[in-house]
Amino acid sequence: MTAAVPPLPRPRRARGGTLSTARRREGVIAIGMAGPAVLLLLVFFVIPVGLAFALAFTSARLISPTPARFVGLRNFAMLAEDPVFLRSVLNTFAFAAVVVPVQAGLALGLALLVNGRFRGTNFFRTVYFIPVVTSMVVVSIVWTFLYRKDGLLNRIIDAVTFGHVQGPDWLNDPSTSLAAIVFMSVWQGAGFHMIIWLAGLQTIPAELHEAASIDGVSRWTRFRFVTWPGLRATRTFVLITITISAFSLFTQVNVMTQGGPLDSTTTLVYQAVRSGYQQQQTAYASAISLVFFVLVLIVSLVQRHLTREKD
């Protein structure tokens, strides 16, 4: 009687080949998932920025039988001598200088108010956030009616002062038009940054506030030494986003004043759009856009440097 012969072991596949196949499959999946985002970035950001940079040094027009030619820095020299461009730079910086601190401070105050636990907190959070979800075009149209000579705002002023003070025509007066847009923009955007501040407040450990309360620390001292340092990363994000939004002012101006009166509300973005589409000066608008990009980049870097974490 012969002994049973054990079966021969099956040949094993190389582990290196299996891992290589798995990694190759993961790479294909990663490329497939990142592909749409990369394509959108290329089409709507990289290519437009590259074209704007290239066209800024040419004589290109939106519709013209004459082919574009290289003109060097001529468009930038024209910007330096253009009074409308200089006024638009001044208006943009003035708008940002007021909106950034006022809107950030107002949003922080609202966040501190709704951060507590009391009845109706969710209601007030919703009320403060409603202007954010409303279209800026709709908000601008509504506030245009409020700012009219016979609008609701002047009627309130007339009623409060018993007819002794007459409100101006806010949007048609060069001395009040930009201030009117500033006030409306702060009102509309404060709710969004309130949510960001609120998220930052809720990341601060409650034990710190409890310890300060037990020690009898006042609310101002608690805010100064507990709350404010804990919002370091949040305030950096808030300041940068408000600054970029303020420098990008366009919709309010386009709907409410069209840059007037007497260019008192013209901004860099509005002038770039007007020059590129209404006046068909594509190269000139590209030069304005390039200057705008550099200004926003410099301001953002300065803000980031000033608000960085220091050892």
In a domain, 128, yes or no: yes
pLDDT tens for the chain, 311 residues: list them.
455 555 555 555 545 557 678 888 888 888 888 888 889 989 888 888 888 888 889 888 878 777 888 888 898 999 888 899 999 999 999 999 999 999 999 999 999 888 877 777 788 888 888 888 888 999 999 999 999 988 888 898 888 888 888 888 899 989 899 999 999 999 999 999 999 999 888 888 888 878 877 877 788 888 888 888 888 888 888 988 898 889 888 999 999 999 888 889 999 999 999 988 888 888 999 999 889 988 888 888 887 777 766 54
In a domain, 71, yes or no: no
In a domain, 9, yes or no: no
In a domain, 268, yes or no: yes
In a domain, 169, yes or no: yes
Q: What domain range includes position 233?
A: 77-306
pLDDT of residue 184: 93
pLDDT of residue 12: 53
In a domain, 35, yes or no: no
Domain count, the chain: 1
Q: Cα–Cα–Cα angle for 106, 107, 111, nearest 5°?
A: 120
Q: Using omega within 30 degrees of 0 as the cis cutoff, is the peptide bond preceding 261 cis?
A: yes
In a domain, 59, yes or no: no
Q: Residue 83 sits in a domain of what CATH number?
A: 1.10.3720.10
